[in-house]
Each structure stands twice: as C-alpha cells, then as structure tokens.
Structure 1
Amino acid sequence: MKKKILIRIGSLRHGGAEKVLVTFLKNLPKDKYEIDLLLNLYSGKYLPEVPNWINVLYLNKGEMITTNRLQDLPVKGFRVFYQKVLKMFPQLLYQFILKGKKYDIEFAAIHGMRDEILNSPLKSSKKLIWIHNDLKKTEFHNYTDEEFRKFFGFDKIMTISEKIQKDFTTLAKTEKEKQKIARIYNPLDTEEILSKSDSVVQDYQFDETVKTFISVGTVFPQKGFDRLLKVHKRLLDEGLNHKVLILGNGYDFENIKKLKDELGVSKTATLLGFTDNPYPYFKKVDFYILSSRYEGFPTVLFEAITLKKKIIATDVSGVREMLEEGKLGLITENSEDGIYEGMKKALENPESFEKYEQNLKDYKMPFNLENSVKSIVKIIDDL
C-alpha cells in the first residue's frame, strides 16, 4: 500500500524552501507514495519542475500580488478572505478541495503552515513539519516560547541547522518531545549546480579589471540588500573601485531599485531580477556576499561553496555550521559595519582570502542530495 501524503506550502515562488521542496520531490521514488501538493497560490518559478506523478491542488490561481494598487485590491482581498475562511473551517477544505481523502501523513513544508496542518480534521494522520527559519530572531517576534511550544503538536519536527535544532531542544519538556526533533540538511543537487554553471551569461557585461561582488536571493528586507548597497556607496566614496551584482526578485525589489538610484550607484550596482540559473554569474565574479539579517540555513551559501567562491557572510543562523567556523569563508558581524569591514578587507587585502580558497579546494560536502533525501524518506517511512 502506498502511503498517502498531503504536503502544504504557500506557493512555488523563487525561495530557498520552495527550491528545496521541489528538489526533494524530484528525487523521491515515485512508486512508493501517493502525494497531493496543496498550494495557497498556484504560482511560482518552480511549478514546472514538480514531477508529473504528484497531484498539484490549489486554493487560488495567478501571480502573487505584492503591491496595494487600487485595481489589485479586490483580487487580493478575496484571496485573503478565502484562505482565512478555509483556515477557520478546515472541514470545508478537506471536503470540497481535498474531496474527503484520508491521508497517512500531513506535511507542513514551511513553518507558516503549522496551524493549517495541526488543525486538520484528520486526527489519525501523522503530522510532519519542516522548519527553514531561525524563529528566535527578532524578525519573528510573534514566536514566543508559548508559540514555539505549539510545534510540539507535530509527530516530527525537521530542522535544517544545528542552531534551529538547539532552539527546539531547549524548549522540549520531555524526552519524547526531544525525540521529535531531527536535523536534516537541505537536499541540494551539487551536480546540477556544477553543470548549470557552464552556461553563457548574456545579459551582463563582466569587467575583468574591476572586482565584482555577487549577492543572490529573494528581494526581501531579510536579505539585507539595502545594507549591501549602502556599504557599496561608502566604499566607492573611499575610492575603492568595485561592482555589485544582485540577482533575485521579490516584493522589496522596487524599494531596492529606488535606493540604488538615490545613492547614485546605478553605474556600479546592478539589479538583474530573477534568473533560473544564477550559477554562471557566480562563476564569473570575484566574491560572493551574504548580507542577510537572518536566515535558517542559507541555501545560496551551499551553492557558493559548491562553486568554490571566495565568501563573505554575516553571522546568521547556519553560517558558522556551513563555513566551518570561518574555515571556508569570512564571517562578519551581522551589521552594516560588519559587511563594510568584510568587503573592505576583500578589496584592500585580497590575499587574505587565499586560505579559504585553499580549504575549499579539498573540501568534501557533508550534506549531499542522496543522504538528505534518504533521511527524509526514513522519517516519512517511520511515522
């Protein structure tokens, strides 16, 4: 008998958790499970990558609305109202959208789906959640200890870094609760990253004579692209010539674009938007920079390590673990000044990065696709 699994996530837009989920689904044995993937919004760059044996369902269809333009408000309002009603009366969702199906496992692929899964009318199903963010950060101020404790309503809590695992273990009150927590490295495909990095870049002119820093991610305040641009301006004003390339899209894109113009750095900083394949850009630049205010386990850092880039990263969750306490890249204070010191060091003292390159040369990635998929499959099978 195939296990029947319901997986819930908001959409399949260009985010780390979304990419990781789709990579996992692509590498699952298809004859073993019957999977319904329920999206709040049928949209996102990773939709075409979902294997065709997985049944995709949705509450709403269309692109994500990130603005408050008058013409968009009715649709936006309806979507919010509709999702709220289904969240308040889950039996409607299970009866009409899921057609009364009984699941063996219900899986929240992100922490934001916690209540949707815990409030399921299916009392006999096993409940699983995947935590991708450091919920102890001030940005998640609503996650008090009391809110955190609600996660122990799940049968298994998968965390993606040591830091997040520790946060949950600290709040566990019994041995049984501690047993619910598992650390699973994100399933990411190194072979795919390496082969895709050989593609040709056509929409950006690289200048070999100028040091270039790349930063990649969804354009949210979390990613700190505003800090990166301000530091870029400071360094230029000090006469340290360099370029910054930002790849990604998101609701903060227009604000970051506006900031770039206000700072007068349009000739040296480029916002390219989202690209399906950031790896050839990685390959061509001198430094990769993670300017994030907070993370869970930054997927993009794994990509930079795979491509053996010189790395500068703010000290957020997952970074020390991935960079082996600073053996594989420069870890800076999580602040604008920290980013400034890191980039200044890269420009004024580039030879100090040679030790990282040396360490990366012989580095064997402890987290590989096969092991991660196996670990998750074992959790699903044991539930």
Structure 2
Amino acid sequence: MTEKKKILIRIGSLRHGGAEKVLVTFLKNLPQDKYEIDLLLNLYSGKYLSEVPNWINILYLNKGEMITTNRIQDIPQKIYRVIYQKLLKKFPKLLYQGKLNGKKYDIEFAAIHGMRDEILNSPLKNSKKIVWIHNDLTQVKIYTNEEIRKFFGFDKIMVISEKIRETFLNLAQNENEQQKIEKIYNPLDTEEVLTKASAPVLNYTFDHTIPTFISVGTVFPQKGFDRLLKVHKKLLNEGFQHHILIVGDGYDFENIKNLKSELDVDNTATMLGFTDNPYPYFEHSDFYILSSRYEGFPTVLFEAITLKKKIIATDVSGVREMLKDGELGLIIENSEEGIYFGMKKALENPEHFNPYSENLKDYQIPFSLENSVNTIMRILDEL
C-alpha cells in the first residue's frame, strides 16, 4: 500500500460562488484511499460545507458567516478577523506550527487566485504548490502583468479557459514556465443538473404570458446585475413587457435590491436569493442572460447549455469558447448597450433564437466530470 499524499487546500470559505462549487464537486469525486486532505478555510461558512465528503478534514481560521454590513455591533468581530488573518498571513509559521500542528504536506493547493501569497509564502519549502485560476485576471485592476507573473512561483497553474491560458502563455519567459500551465475545464455534473431541473419551483410563480430572463450568480459588481436592471427598466419604458429573475446571494445583494426599488421595477424583477437548486428556475425561464463585466469561465453557461436554454451572454472570457463562437447562443458586446441590444432582440424577434435551439439539440458538452477529475488527479500524482 503506497502512502497517501498529504494535501493542504486553501480557500476563503465555501460560500455560494462558482469556484467554491467547482472545488466541492471535485472533492466529492476523489477516491479517499489515495489522498489525505486538509481543507483550510479562512471562514468556516457557506452553503457547500455540508457537501464536503466526511473523510476530508476541515480546518478554519474563524467561524461564522461573512460580515457584509458595517453595523456597530459587528465591527469588533470584523476587526478581530481581519487582524488575525493578516497576522497569520504575515507570520505563516504561527499558522503551520499552531493550527496545522507542524504537519508536513506533499502538496499545497490554492483553490482560488486570492490564496496565491498564502501558499507561496508557506514555510514548507519542499511541498509542491498548485494554484487554480478561475478568473480573467487581466480584468481585475490590481493584477498588473508583474502581479500575474508572481503565479509562476507555483509548480502548476491550473486555468479554466483558453483566454486565461493565453494570458499566462504570453507572460511566460521560458519553456519551463510554459509547461506549468494546464487548462482544465471545470468539473460539472451534467446528470445532476438534468435530474435537479425536474424538481418543483419554490417561492416564485412564473407568468408564461410574458418572457422571463433568468440570471444566476453571486451578487457582486462583476456580475453586472446593475446593468441588467437598468436595461430592464429601459425596455419596460419602451413597452416591452418581460420579467427578470436573479438567483444568487452575495455582498452586493442589498445594493442591487435598493437599485431595483429606485428603478421602480419591484413588480417585474425578482431577486430570489441563494437556492441549493437553481435548475427548475432555469427550466421554466425563456432566456438565460449572462450580464457579467468579466469572468474566467462561467460554469453557469454550461448549465444553461445542458438545459438547452436560449442564451444571451456578454463577450467575456470563456464565452466564445463555450458558445462555439456564437453557434449556441447570442454573444453581445460587454456593455449596457450590448445587454439592451440582446434583450431587445429576444423580445422583438424571438425567432432569431431558433437556430441556436437547433444547434443545442444534439450538442454534447466537450468534457466530462470524469475527465476533469482525472486530469487534476494526474497533476496531483505527477507532482
């Protein structure tokens, strides 16, 4: 019996984001006889905690939900968390000797790009280090080329789309750095998506006499829900009756909710919050709309493709690859005008979407859950 590889995986929390879901899907499909895994969270919270297999050891720096408000009573706890986490980041030996009991890991794994420095500054000099990049970092202000180059300190850089791969290839300075880059499609359990889509819709009534546009994602500025609501208002003013359904939660939830009221569209736009199963809402909606300002590889589009939805998506990283350059859905300019153009086309000329539906009928997603998991396991085993 070969000894199990000891792996430390780090992520902020297991809240309801794409990277968190992808990580948990991956962990659920790993064989437990090969690896000994410690999953270290900055914050012990999130909807996906209950889905982590029980053989994986969950550790955390702080407990409780993320504090997204500035209420007076929350400020001391917020300050304590920030100081404590910054202290452990600055003096990693404290973390490794204390919380991690001086354990020696074979592999240290940053499950999101935000954990780069925590893993690269690990006192374990002999461990192999991996990072999983889920976002197009060229669209994130703080990531200059110089900042992105720091990721070459890892032994492997796993990227989830062709655009992100090209970003890193262009910044690689030698063949050794090029070989660190590995493109892996996000693990998506298509069978689970199809099964869950047949469940009943809860807490929402669809009006099938007018079109419904659904958008699903963590509610923060990247996702462009503010743009979506402004376009919704403009189209209503022009006499185009339709509904907007936003499924998801996040730190910007209250802001978007307030914007919805300011625009006076509370009767035609619904924010459902987080749900464990968004797929029945997909199933009953007429159009799926991705209004994002930037992405890495929006897995949610693969879910929409799996459910054969009529898709409108801003031209962000991953979209051309996923929609086969516009064969499977309408790709629009990444702007408020682009969103307006796409939605107006859907309302004014719905038959424009018929060819996409035809192309989707027999379309098979170009990867499987098994392939993605096997590729990541190969990387773990070769390191």
User: Do both proteins adopt the same fold according to a TM-score greater than 0.5, normalized to the shorter chain?
Assistant: yes
What corresponds to 1:35 in structure 2? 37
1:97 partner SS: coil
Structure 1 residue 190: Cα displacement = 0.3
Matched, 1:329 2:329: yes
Matches of 1:371 and 1:298 in 2, distance apart?
Answer: 18
Structure 1 residue 154: Cα displacement = 0.3
Matches of 2:362 and 2:194 in 1, distance apart?
Answer: 16
- Residues 1-31 of structure 1, C-alpha deviation per residue, up to 9 Å, x if partnerless? 1000000000000000000000000000111
Matches of 1:40 and 1:368 in 2, distance apart?
Answer: 31
Structure 1 residue 141: Cα displacement = 1.6
Matches of 1:65 and 1:182 in 2, distance apart?
Answer: 35
Which of 84, 101, 104 is matched with 1:102 structurally? 104
What corresponds to 2:308 in structure 1? 308
Matched, 1:118 2:126: no
Could you tell me which amino acid in structure 1 is paired with residue 60 of structure 2?
Y
- Residues 115-153 of structure 1, C-alpha deviation per residue, up to 9 Å, x if partnerless? 00000000000000000000001xx22211111111000
What corresponds to 2:362 in structure 1? 362
- Residues 240-289 of structure 1, C-alpha deviation per residue, up to 9 Å, x if partnerless? 11000000111111111111111111111001111010000000010000
1:292 partner SS: coil
Equivalences for residues 207-218 of structure 1 within 5 A? 207-218=207-218
Q: TM-score, normalised by structure 1?
A: 0.99
Matches of 2:117 and 2:262 in 1, distance apart?
Answer: 42
- Residues 203-243 of structure 1, C-alpha deviation per residue, up to 9 Å, x if partnerless? 11111111000000010010000000000001000001100
What corresponds to 1:187 in structure 2? 187
1:367 partner SS: coil
1:316 partner SS: coil
Equivalences for residues 211-290 of structure 1 within 5 A? 211-290=211-290
What corresponds to 1:19 in structure 2? 21
What corresponds to 2:149 in structure 1? 149
1:186 partner SS: coil
Matches of 1:299 and 1:208 in 2, distance apart?
Answer: 27
- Residues 37-56 of structure 1, C-alpha deviation per residue, up to 9 Å, x if partnerless? 00000000000000000000
Matched, 1:318 2:307: no
1:91 partner SS: helix
Matches of 1:246 and 1:289 in 2, distance apart?
Answer: 10
What corresponds to 1:62 in structure 2? 64
Structure 1 residue 33: Cα displacement = 0.2
Structure 1 residue 360: Cα displacement = 0.4
Could you tell me which amino acid in structure 2 is paired with residue 157 of structure 1?
I
Matched, 1:378 2:378: yes
Structure 1 residue 202: Cα displacement = 2.3
Matches of 1:251 and 1:180 in 2, distance apart?
Answer: 34
What corresponds to 1:166 in structure 2? 166
2:152 partner SS: helix
Q: TM-score, normalised by structure 2?
A: 0.99
Matches of 2:8 and 2:165 in 1, distance apart?
Answer: 24
Matches of 1:147 and 1:199 in 2, distance apart?
Answer: 45
Matches of 1:367 and 1:76 in 2, distance apart?
Answer: 41
Could you tell me which amino acid in structure 1 is paired with residue 142 of structure 2?
N
Could you tell me which amino acid in structure 2 is paired with residue 143 of structure 1?
Y
Which of 93, 104, 128 is matched with 1:91 structurally? 93
Matches of 2:324 and 2:335 in 1, distance apart?
Answer: 21
Structure 1 residue 69: Cα displacement = 1.1
- Residues 292-312 of structure 1, C-alpha deviation per residue, up to 9 Å, x if partnerless? 000000011111001000000
Matches of 2:253 and 2:123 in 1, distance apart?
Answer: 39
What corresponds to 1:348 in structure 2? 348
1:136 partner SS: helix
- Give 4+ residue runs of structure 1 displaced > 2 Å after superposition: none
2:182 partner SS: strand
Matches of 2:185 and 2:42 in 1, distance apart?
Answer: 26
Structure 1 residue 367: Cα displacement = 2.0
- What's the % identity of the aligned pairs? 77
Matches of 1:353 and 1:64 in 2, distance apart?
Answer: 40
Could you tell me which amino acid in structure 2 is paired with residue 278 of structure 1?
P
CA RMSD of aligned residues (A): 0.5
1:117 partner SS: helix
Aligned residues: 381
1:83 partner SS: helix
1:36 partner SS: strand
Q: Which ranges in structure 2 are unaligned for 5 or more consecutive residues? A: none
Could you tell me which amino acid in structure 1 is paired with residue 302 of structure 2?
F
Q: Which ranges in structure 1 are unaligned for 5 or more consecutive residues? A: none
Matches of 1:17 and 1:302 in 2, distance apart?
Answer: 14
